[in-house]
Amino acid sequence: MPIAIRAAIKLLIRIVIFVGLPMVGWGVNDFRGFMGDPARLGYVVIAVLLQIYVVIWLPEVGSNRGKGQKDRQSTGTGRASAASALPGRRHRGSTLGPLEYRCPG
């Protein structure tokens, strides 16, 4: 897909999210009432301008097309050690209480 079409689709989706969701909350049938308030009109103008800026000057933002890490280790060990710090919880194989510490050596 050409870059210009991809950028236009990103811009449209972002504008729908940042302007469309508040419009749904306000009421889609009352567009004039939504834009009648200067604060909401300013929000729409700023949101559209910021989305145009992001699409033009920061095109990689929001795309999940990075190479990533091929040799990732499981993140489960980090969760287990965080859970063992909670009071009353023990890490698998641990004979110590949650507040006890055994000096090495």
In a domain, 51, yes or no: yes
Whether residue 33 is contained in a domain is answered as yes
**Would you say residue 103 lies in a domain?**
no
Range of the domain at 31: 3-57
CB 55: neighbour CB atoms within 10 A?
A: 20
Mean pLDDT computed over 59-82 = 57
Residue 61 binned pLDDT confidence (cut-offs 50, 70, 90): low
Q: What's the rounded mean pLDDT across residues 8-29?
A: 92
pLDDT digits (tens, 9 = 90+) for 33-49: 999 999 999 999 999 99
How many domains does the chain fold into? 1
Q: Which pair of tokens denotes residue 99?
A: 């507040």
Cβ neighbours of residue 81 closer than 8 Å, sequence gap 6 or more: 91
Rounded CA separation 100/73 (Å)? 29
Q: Please tell me the pTM assigned to this model.
A: 0.55
**pLDDT of 56:** 87
**Residue 19 within any structural domain of the chain:** yes
CA angle 52, 15, 12 (to 5 degrees): 80
What are all long-range contacts of 19-28, with beta carbons under 8 Å and residues at least 24 apart?
19/44, 19/47, 19/48
